[in-house]
Amino acid sequence: MAMTMTQKILAAHSGNDEVKAGQFIEADLDIVLANDITGPVAIKEFVKMGATEVFDKKKVVLVPDHFTPNKDIKAAQQCKELRDFAHDKEVLNYFEVGQMGIEHALLPEKGIVTAGDTVIGADSHTCTYGALGAFATGIGSTDMAAGMARGKAWFKVPEAIQFVLKNKPTKWVSGKDVILHIIGLIGVDGALYKSMEFVGDGIKHLSMDDRFTMANMAIEAGAKNGIFIVDDLTKKYIKEHKNPDLDKEPVFYEPDEDAEYAGTVVIDLSEVRPTVSFPHLPDNTKTIDEVGEVTIDQAVIGSCTNGRLEDMEIAAKILKLGKVKKGLRCIIFPGTQDVYLDCIRLGYAETFVKAGAVLSTPTCGPCLGGHMGILAEHERAVSTTNRNFVGRMGHITSEIYLASPAVAAASALLGKLANPETIKEELAKL
């Protein structure tokens, strides 16, 4: 039977020659991931089920990133639970403050996930690793506990939607704009419990950072997972980030030509414009040409969606043109310690500070309204994060406008939603 990329990975991990959409399977797991919010809950369930050891000390990954550095006593206690468990169970891949990063930026960088893997994470944006050609999906803390103990999980094999990408995006259009465009096109439930499978010649024009961003936001279309076909750029990334401690080889899967899809969507990348998601859903999209006059109080650049080096580079290029608008806060948080160091080495950190921005340690804090950037009532933020639900980043009357690093940086300089294509001209008018 012809299969999609996701179906082939699930078949290989469940001991089946083939699987089909709707079939229930039990699959072996390559990576089981949790953070400081979901991990403590999973640990309690782990103990309840009578488990005493994790199934594989190399394959369980624990990253305190959501409320770290600890924002209060409760957060400190949660991190301590995670830390104590990791040390007690001798978990190899535990990343504390100083070595850590935002989990979905950190794992690919450390070579912990590779092509052909099956990955579960007690965080909905685990789907990020589909950029590497892996099946990766978010699960609940109870499933996380079972995964840590047994190294297995139950799945219903998802149907797939094929997204055929063609042509080359224009200068200021990034993976963030492409995925916002797609979500605006199909809706927040347009891929509900389906695999979003990205193929086509246009992929060669997307960097790995672009692909991580797009796979990261597959869940915002309701998808079970997002996955990219592996090409030479993927293989180069995997080779450069190979982790010698894990001793595993990538497996590359391609969809069969006659694989069955629930639908096919063709995206001409050359026609995609810089895109902004207005409150309060990611599918409430407008192109930068349609946004009108929207003033903002805060710009946030970073997160597991857009906290990689390429994102920092784009932000620095634009922020170098001027100063953050007086009265506006611009918060930049690199995804990992390595990205932070690169920002220093390449001069981006100096650019950010001189422009009037704040450069933060890697953390999920602002994205989920946790800390280090909470919005007050009626405040507006332009943010490179992934969700703009009511109250997501602070007060329930605040508003979040999702955008690319280019749009967010340009907006920080003008104090309103701004087009990166025309930012020089706009600044010259001031």
Tokens representing residue 125 in the block? 């944006």
Both 292 and 223 in one domain: the answer is no
The span from the CA of 123 to the CA of 389, in Å, is 17
Specify the higher pLDDT residue, 1 or 93.
93
The β-bridge partners of 287 are 275
Both 263 and 294 in one domain: the answer is no
Q: pLDDT value at position 99?
A: 82
pLDDT band per the 50, 70, 90 thresholds, residue 259: very high
The span from the CA of 362 to the CA of 182, in Å, is 28
Q: Is the pLDDT of residue 218 over 80?
A: yes
Question: CA–CA distance from 311 to each of 103, 107, 195, 223, 345 (Å)?
Answer: 17, 17, 26, 24, 15
pLDDT band per the 50, 70, 90 thresholds, residue 369: confident
| Average pLDDT of span 326-347 | 96
Both 25 and 171 in one domain: the answer is yes
H helix intervals, 271-372: 303-306, 309-319, 337-345, 348-355
Burial of 191 (C-beta count, 10 Å sphere; 0-12/13-18/19+): buried
Both 106 and 18 in one domain: the answer is yes
Tell me what percent of the residues of the chain surpass a pLDDT of 70: 100
Q: pLDDT value at position 153?
A: 96
Question: CA–CA distance from 366 to each of 192, 313, 360, 411 (Å)?
Answer: 27, 20, 10, 18
Both 83 and 228 in one domain: the answer is yes
Give rounded-to-5 percent helix, strand, coil for the chain.
35, 20, 45
Both 217 and 301 in one domain: the answer is no
Tell me what percent of the residues of the chain surpass a pLDDT of 90: 88
Closest by alpha carbon to 253, among 230, 286, 278, 272? 230
Residue 179, domain member (yes or no): yes
Q: Is the pLDDT of residue 430 over 80?
A: no
Both 284 and 334 in one domain: the answer is yes
Which structural domain range is residue 364 located in?
277-420
Specify the higher pLDDT residue, 369 or 131.
131
Is omega for the bond preceding 69 within 30 degrees of 0, making it cis?
yes
Q: pLDDT value at position 212?
A: 98
Both 236 and 337 in one domain: the answer is no
**What total of structural domains would you count in the chain?**
2
Q: Output the CA angle 410-277-282, nearest 5 degrees.
A: 140
Residue 72, domain member (yes or no): yes
One-letter identity of residue 242: K
Both 321 and 225 in one domain: the answer is no
Q: pLDDT value at position 424?
A: 87
Question: CA–CA distance from 351 to each of 15, 87, 319, 320 (Å)?
Answer: 52, 39, 7, 6
Residue 90, domain member (yes or no): yes
Average of per-residue pLDDT values in the chain? 94
Tokens representing residue 64 in the block? 């305190």
Place of tokens 């042509």: 167
The span from the CA of 212 to the CA of 195, in Å, is 15
| Average pLDDT of span 399-412 | 97
Cβ 24 vs Cβ 155: under 8 Å: yes
CATH number at residue 285: 3.30.499.10
Cβ 38 vs Cβ 122: under 8 Å: yes
Work out the widest C-alpha separation in the chain, in whole angstroms.
67
One-letter identity of residue 190: G
Predicted TM-score of the model (pTM): 0.95
The span from the CA of 402 to the CA of 279, in Å, is 8
Residue 428, domain member (yes or no): no
pLDDT band per the 50, 70, 90 thresholds, residue 220: very high
H helix intervals, 89-174: 103-109, 141-150
pLDDT tens-digit readout, 245-257: 887 899 999 999 9
Both 260 and 291 in one domain: the answer is no
φ, ψ at 366 (rounded to 5°): -65, -35
pLDDT tens-digit readout, 131-187: 999 999 999 989 999 999 999 999 999 999 999 999 999 999 999 999 999 999 999
The span from the CA of 75 to the CA of 122, in Å, is 17
pLDDT tens-digit readout, 82-94: 999 999 999 999 9
